[in-house]
Chains A and B, each alone.
Chain A
């Protein structure tokens, strides 16, 4: 019984992995935006990224 349940669970995991891969899902963080004005193509400065002013690492030992 437990082996059957685990087998079914494993098949669901594999199916989920295949579906995620085929659908083009990702684990990385991006922000989706709608209706970006077409003027950006001619005037890139008219748009500002929400990731601007990120605190940059200037490290090293």
Chain B
């Protein structure tokens, strides 16, 4: 299936300017091999390449003078979009009329890309370039970019700043179809790319002439859809110079949001601690645990205490004068009326001493636990202490508080806010590192291991 043909010109107006002549596809024969050649650019092309013998012919010469011949096997590298295929870009119908393969040699490795010449009789020429599945829609610049003297070089164009990416020598290796310039196989040009994703400014310098073009990144699916190509486009490999980052916006905005949320989190902590939570002590008692022959049951219950307000937490704190010793308390917080209980065990242990490394200590003489979501009501504690029998006496105290702040929540919330910001930053940095790795200004140089930020 092919796209709709280019739109016909409007009817002539009496007394008004005359429209351009009706375009026609012209068929001629190759002067070398005699094969039929279709001229699709309505006389706008300067050279045309015979698809049969690959002779480069002068399209401006009525006799199609042979300009160059070269040996090539087109089947080795056929254009992915065949010549004559029509598609719609920016709402305008274009026809593929030319194709060339160009390459550059960098550090002994040859990198090749493809360029397609598109033509519309009223809009003129446009180009599609493709490298490793990455496509660019390229058109001529409307004005000359302004070069900014800096290291690395920059340029401004239509209010956007472009950063120098790469300068290389491009060599034409294969041509097919029509071209609006005197194309030659083997011709070389110095190509400079400056990027402002998803756009790229390219200058080509050849024989003292500099031409500027502006490209915009396209993914293969959009190209395939525009030209109604069957199947799937070739998959994109790696990161291309002007490929838009998956995280389009600056990660600075995310970090600003992180800072704002952190401030709000602190505000939340202060608000709960000072204004909302009562953090009220509802019970406190001291106990003495003595060694010696056990006289019956060691467990006991405390006096009753009231937990008021809405369902909230309860903090049970223990402090014991342990010294190279431990005490373990089996607690049960029991509702006097409903029989609902919360069972938990807490150990208080503290060890210290001196050795060849100096003084050391482990553990703590105090401990606290926060019981979650305890409804209001009348409660008491059942306590069953355990301790090492080789110590004669341990004094410990128990405190119960209602409505206390849980600082762990704020720590977890901080980490939950921090992790995505770090992940986004890393993803963005990694993408940019891959992008600039192919440039003249890599962010990370592998030889020295040092970093260079071209900002």
Contacts and interface: CB of A to CB of B under 8 A. Distances in A.
A9 B272 CA distance: 21
Interface residues of A, number: 49
B342 A24 contact: no
Interface in B368-406: 369-374, 380, 382, 384, 386, 388, 403, 405-406
Size category of the binding interface on chain B = 35 or more
Contact of B343 (A16, A31, A44, A59): A31
Contacts, number: 186
B342 A13 contact: no
B297 interface: yes
Interface in A2-55: 2-3, 6-7, 9-11, 13-14, 16-18, 20-38, 40-41, 44-45, 47-52, 54
Given A7-B257, A31-B343, A44 B301 contact: yes
B328 interface: yes
B351 interface: yes
Given A2-B254, A20-B406, A28 B343 contact: no
Interface of B: 247-249, 253-254, 256-258, 260-261, 264-265, 268, 272, 276-277, 297, 299-301, 310-314, 324, 326, 328, 330-332, 334, 336, 339-345, 347, 349, 351-353, 355, 360, 362-363, 369-374, 380, 382, 384, 386, 388, 403, 405-406, 408-410, 412-413, 416-417, 420-421, 424
15 contacts: A2-B253, A6-B420, A14-B261, A23-B373, A29-B344, A30-B344, A33-B340, A36-B332, A38-B336, A44-B299, A44-B382, A45-B299, A47-B382, A49-B332, A52-B384
